[in-house]
Each structure stands twice: as structure tokens, then as C-alpha cells.
Amino acid sequence: MPPAIRTQRANLMIGLYLARGRFGATLDDILQVRLGYTPGGRFPREQYEKLFRNAQRAGREAFRKRTPGYFTFNAMPFGNRYIYKATWYVWINPQSGQPQTVPLLAGDLASMVRTRSRDVDTRESTTRSVRTADNINEQRQAIQGQDWSALQDLQARMIEDGSLGEILSGFHGLQYAEIQKIIPVLPNRPMRFQFQRDAQNIQQLSRRLRQAQDSLGRQLTSWVMLQTGVPNNAPQLALQQAQQRLANL
């Protein structure tokens, strides 16, 4: 089910405003200039902020599903405040008739990348810690019930989902790392076990995998750019398409 028309219009108005500006805009600017908020006016600020968040959420969901007609915009630190920039628009390529994501000319996004990376790292760490605790509980239940098949499946999963690395690194007071990276740096190793040799082999295979991925990435980049058929002026054409869509709503 598509978002409400009011949400769609808000997404387009905000996206066009941000995409046509050079440096982005603060939330206050967006609320007042594009969404019509007046401090001390009839309607509370919370109502306009809710509309903004709904429009932002609609853009993110459209980007994920490749639904044409929506902007993606996100915040980035700028001094002691945050500014918003539009980063993508999903348009219909007039040549192919297919929906495509078009990157917008958003300028320097390094601080946005750092902020989002920290957010992702925090969410991944939290999810992994909760998952590990749940796996430990399942492991105890499997042992109590003598369900060895379930225990074997769980142990295999704990290697894949990072749980075993979380337990082992935490037990030794080390910062989390994947199991194959933790094992070689464990303290107090009077002898070398087979699993340590296996971990070293995994590291070597991982390096070879990264090298193969780098080679593949270089080849695919050239191929994809040729196949997508996105014209050089796609951002400008996308904004025109967005303006027409807004006028038609």
C-alpha cells in the first residue's frame, strides 16, 4: 500500500528543496520553508516533524523496493548541528521504462558516512550480543534435553553468526573479532592446536577471497556502467521528473 498522498507530496517537496540547494538544510529550515510550519502558530511543531519523518521513511522504503517517485534524504553532522541532504531519487528511465536509482550531487558526505557507520556498528554489536545470549540459552536447553542434533546445528550457527567469537573474545577481555582472527592472538598458548592452524588457513583464504573480490569489483564496475544506460544528465532529468510528479499529485 503506497504512503498517503500528503506523505508523498512532503517527500517530493523536501527532496527537491534539498537537491537544488548547495549545502543542504537544517530541520528547522525544512519544516518552515517547505512544510509550512510557523513557530507559535496554530499547529504544533510535533505535527510537522511527524510529517517529515513519515516522508523520510517513505523515501527509504522506496529506495529499498526501487519504487519510483521518491527521494532519499539523511542527516549529517555540521559543526554543532545537523543538516539534511538528498542522496538518491528513484526515477523511471525514459529509455528503458524501468525504475532506477539515481545518485544526486550531494557534495561532501564524509561526516554522514562516519555517522551511519557508527550507527551500523552499534546496531550490529547490540544484535550480536543479544543473539549470543540467546544462543547460549538454547545451547543449555539442548544439553539438558540431550538433543545432540539440535546442539550440533546450533554450534555450527554460532560460528557463522559471530556468537562464538563474541564468547571467546569476551572471555579473554579482547575486543570482538571474528573467530578466525581471535584464535591466533589468544594468550597463554603452550601448544598449537589443530583449530589454531585451521583459523590461520581461514585467514589466508579470506585474504585470497578479498583479492578475488577486488578483481571482480573492478570488472563489474565497468560492465555495470555500460549496461545501466543512465545518461550523464540523469540527476537533472530525475529532478524534472520529480517536479512533474509533484505537480500531478
Q: How far is CA 105 from CA 21, 25, 87, 122, 233, in A?
A: 10, 15, 7, 28, 11
Rounded to the nearest integer, the mean pLDDT of the chain is 81
Q: For residue 154, with 0-12 CB atoms within 10 Å meaning exposed, 13-18 middle and 19 or more buried, which class applies?
A: middle
Q: ∠163-164-168 over CA atoms, to 5°?
A: 120
Q: Is pLDDT at 90 greater than 60 in this prediction?
A: yes
Mean pLDDT of 148-166: 81
Find the range with the poorest average confidence among 20-24, 77-81, 86-90, 205-209: 205-209
Q: Name residues whose C-beta falls within 8 Å of residue 170's C-beta, 6 or more positions apart in sequence.
A: 176
Among candidate residues 74, 46, 48, 49, the one with its CA nearest the CA of residue 60: 74
Q: Among 67-71, 83-87, 176-180, name the most confident range.
A: 67-71
Give the model's pLDDT for residue 180: 65
Among candidate residues 135, 184, 185, the one with its CA nearest the CA of residue 158: 135
Q: Is pLDDT at 183 greater than 90 in this prediction?
A: no
Q: Is pLDDT at 99 greater than 80 in this prediction?
A: yes
163-171 and 148-160 helices cross at what angle (nearest 10)? 80
- For 211-246, the pLDDT digits (tens) are 777 777 667 666 655 556 667 788 888 899 999 999
Give the model's pLDDT for residue 221: 60
Q: Residue 134's pLDDT band (boundaries 50, 70, 90)?
A: confident
Give the model's pLDDT for residue 89: 93
Among candidate residues 67, 73, 60, the one with its CA nearest the CA of residue 24: 73
Q: Is pLDDT at 166 greater than 70 in this prediction?
A: yes
CB 75 within 8 A of CB 84: yes
Give the model's pLDDT for residue 42: 85
Give the model's pLDDT for residue 8: 95
Q: Residue 176's pLDDT band (boundaries 50, 70, 90)?
A: confident
Find the range with the poorest average confidence among 42-46, 98-102, 103-107: 103-107
